C-alpha cells in the first residue's frame, strides 16, 4: 500500500475532508434505518420451502392472531363463565381488535329439532352445576374445540383477537402489545390469571431487546474500551483517536445499512459492539507502533514514514481478512445472515479508512514519556524473554500442549449439534419465553406444522375415496402428534351431529354429494378456509406439537412423509410447511455454508499471504496458529452443549478473521526484521519482533475479551453465547500467537534459509 509522503500525512486538512465527505454521504441513511422484530429474516429465501410457503399463503386462509389465555380451576363454572364473558366483551371493545374467536363468539353447527343450524357455542350461561357439567362434556368431547378454545382439562380458555390493521397508529404491533399488556394487567387485578402470547408479542419483545442492546450495551462497550485505552496508553490523544474512529465507523455503517435497506435484526443488533471492539484493535496496533518509533527518537514525519512500511500494510491485510470473514456469508439464502455479513464486512473496511485518514489528524503531538515506558516496560521485556526462551529451548513442550489442546477440541467438534430453535434467542427466565411455555403447557405445543395434500385434480378432495384416504392419513398423524385438525375433523363432526356416526374422532367418513354440499354450505369459509384451497384440489392438515429445535422438526417431517407413502396415492404430493420447517431448513443450510465459507476464507487468506510474503510456504505456515481458535470455538460448543444455529453461525468466520489479525502483524514484523537482520540468529530476530508486537497483541486481546464480555449481559440468550464463544476464540488466538506462532516463525526462518 503506497502513500505519497506529504499528500496525506503532512496535510491533515485533506484527511479531514475525506472523513467528512464519507460521513456526509453515509450518515443520512441512519434516518431510514428500521428494526425488524419478526422471524422472517431467519428463514431461507428461494428454494422449494420458500416457494411452498408463499403459495400456501396465497391459497389458504392464514390470519395472524394473538392468543390471550385465562386460567381457572374450572372455566365451565357459572361464576367463571360470567367473568370470562365480561372479559371477552371488554377485549372486543378494544379499538385494536377487529374480531375475536372464543367460547362466546364461536357459532357452531348443531343438530336441533327442525334441522341442522349454526348456533352460538354457549347459548346461555349455565345456571347450576348440572348444566355446567353438561356444557363441559359437550365442549371437551368435541375434538375440534378441545385444545383450541379450551384446553383438554378445562382449566384454561383461549381468546384469539384479530388485529384491526385499518387502525391509524404509527406502529400497530407495538400499540397492540402495549394495549393488551394493560388490558391483561387490569384483568389480573380483578382476580383473573391471564397472559398473552403470539407472533406480534414475540416480535415486539425482540424489538425491545434490540433497543436495549443498542442503547445500553453499545454505550457500555464504548465506555469499557475508553477505560482500557486510558489504562494501557495513559494518553488522551490515543483515547480520542480510538473513540472517533469507532464512533465514525458505527455511524457510517448504520448509514450504509439505511441506504441499502438492511434492517436491524437480532443478529445484526450486535454490529455496534463488533465494530467498536474489532475496530479498536487496528488503532491499538497503529498507536503502539507509532509510540515505539517516537520513543526511538524519530520525528512525527519520520515515524509516519516508518508506519507506512510496517503497520499500514498489516492493517490492510488484517482489515481485508476480517472483512472477508464476514463477506463469505454474504451469499447465504438466509436474509439475516446475508445482511449481517454485508453490514459487518463494510463496517470493518470503513473503520480501516477512518483509521488511516484520522491518524495524521490526531497523532501530531509528542508522545508522553509514561506511554513509552509502558510499551517498553520491564514486564513486557520479561514476557518477551520468556516467550523467546520457550520457543528456542522448550518448543517441543509448546508443540505437545498445542496438539493435546487440538485433540480435545476436535473431540468437542464431533459433538456439535446443529439446531435452530428461534426461542433459544430468549433467556430461560424472560417473560416472553415464560408465557410461550405456559401456552405450551395449557394447549399442548407451540410448534405449528402444516401438511398440505395435493391431489393435482380440481375438486378431487371431495371424492369419497380421497376423503377416506385423507381421513386415514390424518388418523395416523393424530397417533404421533398432540393435536391434529383437518377437513375430516369437520366432516366427522357433521356426521356425529346428524346421528350418522357415533365416533366423532375416528369414525368412518362416508358422505354423498348432497351431504358434501350441505357441509360446505353450513361450515363455510370461516371454518374450512384453513383446510381447503380455492379449487378444492388441495387440503391442509394443521398439527400443533411440542417439538422444539430443527432436529425434532426433521424427524417429524420424515415421519409424516413415511405415513404419506404408506397411505396416500403416489401421484399425490405431500408438503410439510410452517415456521418450524423454515427454521430447520435454515439449520440445514448452515452446516453446508459454514464449512464452504470457512474453506473459501482459508484459501483466500492463504493466497493473500502468499502474494504478500512472496512465498507459498510462508502463507501455509501462517494458517497453523489461525486454525486453532476456530477448532477451539467449535470444540467448546460441543463440550458446553451450545448448538450451532443462525445466532452463532458467524462466530467461526469472525473468530478466524480476528485470529488472523495479530498473526499477520507478527508475521509482517518478523518478515521486516528478517530482511533487515539477515546475519542475525533466529533468537535475536524473534526477540526484536516480539519486542515490538507483544504489547499491542496483549492489549488487543485483552480489549477484545473484555469488550465481548459485555455481550454476556444481553437480553438475548444467543448473544450471551456468542460473547462466550468470542472470549474462547480470542483467548485461544492470543495463546496461539504467543506460543505457537514463534514455533511457526522458526519454520519460516528455516524456509527462508
d(CA 726, CA 642): 13
Residue 416 neighbours by CB under 8 Å, 6+ apart: 634, 637, 638, 643, 644
Cell numbers at 26, concatenated: 453515509
* 192 three-class SS: coil
Question: Which 8-state DSSP code applies to residue 596?
Answer: H
- Three state DSSP letters for 635-704: HHHHHHCCCECHHHCCHHHHHHHHHHHHHHHHHHHHHHHHHHCCCCCHHHHHHHHHHHHHHHHHHHHHHH
* Greatest extent of the chain over all pairs of C-alpha atoms, in Å: 111
CB 101 within 8 Å of CB 160 = yes
Cell numbers at 249, concatenated: 465507523
Is the domain spanning 12-41+234-426+583-752 CATH 1.10.8.60? The answer is no
**Angle at 63 (CA atoms; ends 59, 69), nearest 5 degrees:** 150
Of the options 2.20.180, 3.30.70, 3.40.50, 3.30.2310, the CATH number for the domain spanning 447-545+547-577: 3.30.70
Going by their DSSP bridges, the two strands 107-112 and 447-454 should be labelled as: unpaired
CB 646 within 8 Å of CB 336 = yes
Other residues' Cβ atoms within 10 Å of the Cβ of residue 554: 18
pLDDT of residue 3: 42
State the number of CA atoms in the 13 A half-sphere of 306 facing the CB. Answer: 20
Residues of the chain with CATH 3.30.70: 447-545+547-577
Q: 587, 716, 724: which is closest to 642 by C-alpha? A: 724
State the number of CA atoms in the 13 A half-sphere of 631 facing the CB. Answer: 17
44: part of which helix (H) or strand (E)? Answer: none
pLDDT of residue 525: 64
Integer CA distances (angstroms), 31 to 58, 207, 436, 559, 737, in order: 33, 17, 34, 49, 42
**Angle at 250 (CA atoms; ends 346, 36), nearest 5 degrees:** 80
Residue 112 neighbours by CB under 8 Å, 6+ apart: 119
Other residues' Cβ atoms within 10 Å of the Cβ of residue 425: 25
Interhelix angle 12-26/236-260, rounded to 10 degrees, is: 30
Q: 418, 423, 449, 433: which is closest to 550 by C-alpha? A: 418
Integer CA distances (angstroms), 368 to 235, 291, 336, 363, 711, in order: 7, 9, 46, 12, 34
Question: Which 8-state DSSP code applies to residue 570?
Answer: T
Question: pTM for this structure?
Answer: 0.82
pLDDT of residue 2: 46
Residue 180 neighbours by CB under 8 Å, 6+ apart: 66, 68, 94, 96, 161, 196, 201
Q: What is the Rg, in whole angstroms, of the alpha carbon atoms belonging to the chain? A: 32
Integer CA distances (angstroms), 748 to 91, 317, 401, 604, in order: 74, 19, 21, 20
Residues of the chain with CATH 1.20.1640.10: 12-41+234-426+583-752
Instruction: Pinpoint the alpha helices (H) of 710-740.
Output: 717-735
- Three state DSSP letters for 129-166: HHHHHHHHHHHHCCCCCECCCECCCCCEEEEEEEECCC
CB 156 within 8 Å of CB 150 = yes
pLDDT of residue 751: 54
pLDDT of residue 551: 78
CB 218 within 8 Å of CB 270 = no
* 497 three-class SS: helix
Cell numbers at 358, concatenated: 484520522
CA-based torsion, 132, 138, 143, 148: positive or negative:
negative
CB 347 within 8 Å of CB 325 = no
Instruction: Pinpoint the alpha helices (H) of 454-504.
Output: 464-478, 487-497
- The neighbouring-strand residues paired with 196 are 68
Instruction: Pinpoint the alpha helices (H) of 170-235.
Output: 172-189, 199-212, 218-233
Residue 79 burial class via C-beta count within 10 angstroms: exposed 0-12, middle 13-18, buried 19 and up? exposed
**Angle at 722 (CA atoms; ends 315, 623), nearest 5 degrees:** 40
Other residues' Cβ atoms within 10 Å of the Cβ of residue 52: 17
CB 531 within 8 Å of CB 538 = no
d(CA 556, CA 105): 34
pLDDT, averaged per 10 consecutive residues of the chain (753 residues), comes to 48 86 95 83 71 72 76 92 92 89 81 70 87 90 87 91 84 87 90 88 87 89 88 83 90 95 87 84 80 74 72 77 77 82 91 88 65 58 79 81 90 83 79 86 79 89 87 91 87 81 80 76 71 86 81 88 93 88 73 74 78 74 82 90 77 72 76 70 78 81 90 89 90 87 73 54
d(CA 534, CA 532): 7
Amino acid at each position: 500500500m503506497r502513500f505519497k509522503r506529504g499528500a496525506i500525512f503532512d496535510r491533515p486538512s485533506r484527511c479531514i475532508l475525506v472523513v467528512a465527505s464519507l460521513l456526509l454521504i453515509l450518515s443520512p441513511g441512519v434516518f431510514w434505518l428500521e428494526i425488524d422484530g419478526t422471524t422472517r429474516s431467519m428463514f431461507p429465501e428461494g428454494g422449494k420451502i420458500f416457494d411452498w410457503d408463499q403459495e400456501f399463503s396465497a391459497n389458504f386462509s392464514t390470519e395472524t392472531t394473538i392468543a390471550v389465555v385465562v386460567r381457572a380451576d374450572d372455566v365451565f363454572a357459572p361464576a367463571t363463565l360470567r367473568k370470562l364473558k365480561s372479559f371477552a366483551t371488554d377485549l372486543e371493545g378494544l379499538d385494536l381488535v377487529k374480531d375475536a374467536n372464543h367460547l362466546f363468539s364461536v357459532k357452531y353447527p348443531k343438530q336441533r329439532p327442525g334441522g341442522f343450524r349454526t348456533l352460538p357455542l354457549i347459548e346461555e350461561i349455565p345456571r347450576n352445576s348440572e348444566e355446567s357439567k353438561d356444557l363441559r362434556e359437550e365442549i371437551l368431547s368435541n375434538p375440534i374445540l378441545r385444545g383450541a378454545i379450551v384446553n383438554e382439562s378445562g382449566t384454561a380458555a383461549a381468546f384469539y383477537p384479530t388485529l384491526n390493521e385499518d387502525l391509524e397508529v404509527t406502529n400497530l404491533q407495538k400499540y397492540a402489545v402495549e394495549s393488551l399488556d394493560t388490558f391483561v394487567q387490569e384483568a389480573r387485578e380483578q382476580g383473573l390469571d391471564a397472559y398473552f402470547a403470539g407472533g406480534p408479542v414475540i416480535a415486539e419483545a425482540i424489538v425491545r431487546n434490540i433497543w436495549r442492546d443498542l442503547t445500553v450495551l453499545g454505550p457500555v462497550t464504548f465506555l469499557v474500551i475508553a477505560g482500557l485505552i486510558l489504562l494501557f496508553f495513559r494518553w488522551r490523544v490515543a483515547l480520542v483517536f480510538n473513540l472517533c474512529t469507532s464512533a465514525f465507523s458505527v455511524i457510517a455503517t448504520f448509514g450504509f445499512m439505511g441506504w441499502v435497506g438492511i434492517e436491524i435484526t437480532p443478529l445484526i443488533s450486535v454490529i455496534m459492539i463488533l465494530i467498536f471492539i474489532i475496530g479498536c484493535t487496528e488503532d491499538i496496533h497503529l498507536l503502539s507502533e507509532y509510540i515505539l518509533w517516537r520513543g526511538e527518537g524519530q520525528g512525527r514525519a519520520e515515524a509516519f514514514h516508518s508506519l507506512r512500511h510496517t503497520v499500514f500494510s498489516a492493517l490492510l491485510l488484517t482489515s481485508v481478512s476480517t472483512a472477508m470473514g464476514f463477506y463469505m456469508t454474504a451469499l447465504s439464502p438466509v436474509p439475516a445472515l446475508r445482511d449481517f455479513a454485508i453490514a459487518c464486512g463494510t463496517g470493518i473496511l470503513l473503520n480501516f479508512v477512518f483509521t488511516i485518514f484520522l491518524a495524521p489528524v490526531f497523532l501530531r503531538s509528542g508522545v508522553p514519556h509514561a506511554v513509552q515506558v509502558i510499551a517498553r516496560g520491564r514486564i513486557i521485556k520479561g514476557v518477551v524473554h520468556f516467550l523467546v526462551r520457550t520457543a528456542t529451548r522448550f518448543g517441543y513442550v509448546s508443540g505437545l500442549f498445542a496438539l493435546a489442546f487440538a485433540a480435545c477440541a476436535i473431540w468437542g467438534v464431533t459433538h456439535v449439534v446443529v439446531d435452530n430453535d428461534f426461542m433459544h434467542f430468549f433467556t430461560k427466565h424472560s417473560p416472553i419465553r415464560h408465557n410461550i411455555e405456559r401456552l405450551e403447557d395449557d394447549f399442548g405445543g407451540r410448534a405449528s406444522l402444516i401438511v398440505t395434500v395435493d391431489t393435482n385434480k380440481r375438486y378431487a378432495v371431495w371424492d369419497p375415496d380421497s376423503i377416506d384416504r385423507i381421513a386415514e392419513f390424518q388418523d395416523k398423524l393424530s397417533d404421533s402428534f398432540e393435536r391434529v385438525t383437518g377437513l375430516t375433523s369437520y366432516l366427522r363432526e357433521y356426521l356425529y351431529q346428524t346421528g350418522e356416526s357415533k365416533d366423532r374422532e375416528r369414525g368412518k367418513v362416508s358422505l354423498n354429494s348432497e351431504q358434501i354440499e350441505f357441509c360446505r354450505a353450513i361450515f363455510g369459509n370461516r371454518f374450512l378456509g384453513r383446510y381447503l384451497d380455492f379449487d378444492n384440489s388441495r387440503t391442509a392438515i394443521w398439527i400443533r406439537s411440542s417439538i422444539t429445535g430443527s432436529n425434532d422438526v426433521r424427524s417429524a417431517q420424515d415421519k409424516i412423509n413415511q405415513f404419506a407413502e404408506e397411505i396416500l396415492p403416489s401421484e399425490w404430493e405431500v408438503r410439510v410447511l410452517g415456521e418450524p420447517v423454515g427454521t430447520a431448513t435454515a439449520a440445514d443450510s448452515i452446516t453446508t455454508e459454514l464449512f464452504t465459507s470457512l474453506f473459501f476464507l482459508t484459501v483466500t487468506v492463504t493466497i493473500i499471504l502468499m502474494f504478500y510474503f512472496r512465498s507459498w510456504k510462508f502463507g501455509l505456515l501462517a494458517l497453523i496458529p489461525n486454525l486453532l481458535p476456530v477448532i477451539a470455538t467449535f470444540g467448546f460448543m460441543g463440550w458446553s452443549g451450545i448448538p450451532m444455529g443462525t445466532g452463532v453461525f458467524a462466530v467461526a468466520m469472525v473468530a478466524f478473521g480476528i485470529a488472523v489479525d495479530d498473526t499477520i502483524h507478527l508475521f509482517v514484523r518478523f518478515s521486516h526484521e528478517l530482511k533487515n537482520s539477515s546475519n542475525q540468529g533466529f533468537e535475536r530476530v524473534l526477540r526484536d519482533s516480539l519486542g515490538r508486537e507483544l504489547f499491542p497483541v496483549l492489549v488487543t486481546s485483552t480489549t477484545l475479551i473484555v469488550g465481548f464480555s459485555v455481550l454476556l449481559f444481553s437480553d438475548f440468550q444467543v448473544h450471551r453465547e456468542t460473547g462466550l464463544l468470542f472470549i474462547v476464540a480470542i483467548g485461544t488466538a492470543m495463546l496461539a500467537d504467543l506460543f505457537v506462532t514463534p514455533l511457526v516463525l522458526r519454520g519460516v526462518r528455516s524456509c527462508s534459509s
